[in-house]
Amino acid sequence: MRSADQHGISAEQVGILEREWHLWPQLAAPERDRIQRLIGLFLATMGWEGAQGFEVTEEMRVLVAAQACLLLLGLEIDEYPATDSVIVHPGTVRLRGEHHLGGGLRSSGVMAVDGQAHYRGPVLLSWSAVRAEMNAPERGRNVVFHEFAHQLDMIDGSVDGTPPFDDDADRRRWMEVCTTAFEAPPEVLRDYAFTNPAEFFSVATETFFCQPVQLKEAEPVLYGEFVQYYGQDPAARAQPREQPRE
Ligand SMILES: [Zn+2]
């Protein structure tokens, strides 16, 4: 896999993050340094396409890349090997054909979604959903985090809610904690998490990055597993801003 070491972004691109992304001020200096390299590699290697003639602007690319790369910040990988392009739709993505709904159910016809991740294929995103969610963590939803969590899950070729782990004991503990939470649905996760283990991982990832303090309070063991896997602690980052000043 390629390394982000030789990459970076321009002062103009940093300016977009400073102006447009609420998480930017929360990142510590070393985190900013790493995420800029990750974004630089992401922008240099991913293909971008606007659906139905939609114009994908520099700002859109930088903001999607930043959110996708936040997931990689504490991981030992610098890119998403199971995808190489992003297709940006202006609004809801309308999928045609046969769909798997989970639990063995299928439907045919048009299905409307905010995003979709393909194994060794593109990530589809609705720009209106990206825009509405990126600075509204109180919604607990983020389509970029969701779809790129699927891409992490897909690295080992199976979409089962368990991304690759170097250590077998870590993987077993992860599966145990996630299975327990899957079987006794915590309220802090929205219902869609319980569609199947793959959706559980993606929805829990959204909550982990959007509402880390709430997730940590409600489900400390699950939160701890996500801290271990992602190699970062978003609640610690968010906390100082939530504490009242003396
Ligand atoms: Zn999903």
What pairing do the DSSP bridges indicate for beta strands 123-126 and 85-89? parallel
Q: Which residues contact 95 (CB under 8 A, 6 or more apart)?
A: 110, 111, 112, 113, 116
pLDDT computed for residue 65 by the predictor: 98
113 CA distance to ligand 1 middle (Å): 10
239 CA distance to ligand 1 middle (Å): 28
pLDDT computed for residue 229 by the predictor: 97
pLDDT in tens, the chain (246 residues): 789 989 999 999 999 999 999 999 999 999 999 999 999 999 999 999 999 899 999 999 999 999 999 999 999 999 999 999 999 999 999 888 766 655 566 667 788 999 999 999 999 999 999 999 999 999 999 999 999 999 999 999 999 999 999 999 999 999 999 999 999 999 999 999 999 999 999 999 999 999 999 999 999 999 999 999 999 999 999 876 545 555
Structure tokens at 118: 């393909």
- C-alpha 95: how far from chain center: 21
217 CA distance to ligand 1 middle (Å): 24
- Tell me the domains of the chain and their CATH numbers: 11-242 (3.40.390.10)
187 CA distance to ligand 1 middle (Å): 18
How far apart (Å, rounded) are the C-alpha atoms in residues 119 and 139?
27
Question: Is the whole model's pTM more than 0.85, yes or no?
Answer: yes
How far apart (Å, rounded) are the C-alpha atoms in residues 40 and 218?
36
How far apart (Å, rounded) are the C-alpha atoms in residues 114 and 93?
6
